[in-house]
Structure 1
Amino acid sequence: MSLRSSRGARSPRAGRATSHRAADRRPVETAGVESAAEAAVATTDGEGAGAPWYSEGLRFECTQCGNCCSGPPGAVWFTPQEADLMARELGLATTEFLERYTRRVGARRSLKELKIDGRFDCVFLDRSSRPGKAICGIYRARPSQCRSWPWWPEVVESPESWAETKRRTPCPGMDAGPVHPLVEITIGLTGA
């Protein structure tokens, strides 16, 4: 699974989009709870009823391999506000950014891809600046779809979906590095 999707929905690769794309996420509706993250934690406290399989947290650390930003053709969706931020990061007017770095997919826009060695890399994936690493050329302004990887509903749905995503991406950072607590994962899932 990558950050891109082949059908407008996230694929089982790493970070490219599917029906659970960040731009389509809505905060969890809560009554008297300050955030969606607090709501999720509130529903899992107590006797464990409703506790997700990852309630003790999950290990993840980005290794800058670039696998989540490459693979089969897909889509990286973004909001108009994110387009403005990416354009500003590059020192461009939003219209110029959209013309140079995005493509129309139906009624929406996605970041362009470059076919390199049989893979489709995000236009901003830089494999040459740091030997052995793949870095994002707009990291500080990357879309929420990218920021929320790997905390996507279809990735954390079950231990099996987590393992399958780790295998298919492949993502060496999954099950490595520090433990991310339930609250942090929930924030990634809800965009809260």
Structure 2
Amino acid sequence: MSKQEWYADGLSFECTQCGNCCTGPEGYVWFTAEEGRAIAEHLKLSVDEFRRRFARREYGKWTLEEVPRQGRFDCVFLRRDAEGKALCTIYPVRPVQCRTWPFWPSNLQSPTAWRQSASGCPGMKNGGTFYPIEKIRVILNSNNDDV
């Protein structure tokens, strides 16, 4: 088994709506032009208005804005309900980067990388939906650097 296939027996994950994947140190939530159009439509805004209010250009690509909160940075579209559950206000049209968590190349580099991410993501360690390696590979292929 190669280093990249340490997860050959599959992995389990179930989103607990903790919001931890939507908050943390400053970072980037990349989105494509197509995803930007879908988000704008979902918000009933023009693409220009959506970009002006909720996005910025970094390294020649578009990324969602972040909001500083208590020493961390939340995605601009993260809200919390009365019980503290995370709510993504663009969930049906969220970017591929968001839809493919936690099956990112960085998390799948090694069991140690997976465990480190799982330390902040209850859904990675509480069982849940089983993802066979074939499904993980499909997800990895959809999360590319072409954004």
Shared fold, TM over 0.5: yes
Aligned residue number for residue 50 of structure 2: 97
Tell me the CA shift for residue 49 of structure 1: 7.6
Tell me the CA shift for residue 130 of structure 1: 4.8
Provide the C-alpha distance between the structure 2 equivalents of 1:189 and 1:78, rounded to a whole number of angstroms: 16
Which fold has the larger relative contact order, with Cα–Cα distance below 8 Å and residues 6 or more apart in sequence?
2
1:155 to 107, 110, 114: 107
Work out whether residues 4 and 108 of structure 2, in 8 Å CA contact, stay in contact via their aligned partners in 1: no
Tell me the CA shift for residue 191 of structure 1: 0.7
Larger Rg belongs to: 1
Letter in 1 for 2:88: C
Letter in 1 for 2:32: T
The structure in which a higher percent of residues are strand is 2
Task: Give RMSD over aligned pairs.
Answer: 1.8
Which blocks of at least 5 consecutive residues in structure 2 are unaligned? none
Kindly tell me: are residues 137 and 49 of structure 1, through their superposed partners in 2, closer, same or farther at Cα, counting changes over 3 Å?
closer
SS class of match (1:152):
coil
Query: Residues 105-162 of structure 1, C-alpha deviation per residue, up to 9 Å, x if partnerless?
Result: 13222100111111100000011x3522011110000000111111111111111111
SS class of match (2:68):
strand
SS class of match (1:86):
helix
Which blocks of at least 5 consecutive residues in structure 1 are unaligned? 1-47
Tell me the CA shift for residue 178 of structure 1: 2.2
How high is the sequence identity, in percent, across the aligned residues? 47
Provide the C-alpha distance between the structure 2 equivalents of 1:151 and 1:51, rounded to a whole number of angstroms: 12
Aligned residue number for residue 24 of structure 2: 71
Scaled by the length of structure 1, the TM-score of the pair is: 0.69
Matched, 1:120 2:73: yes
SS class of match (2:25):
coil
Matched, 1:58 2:3: no
Scaled by the length of structure 2, the TM-score of the pair is: 0.89
Provide the C-alpha distance between the structure 2 equivalents of 1:130 and 1:64, rounded to a whole number of angstroms: 13
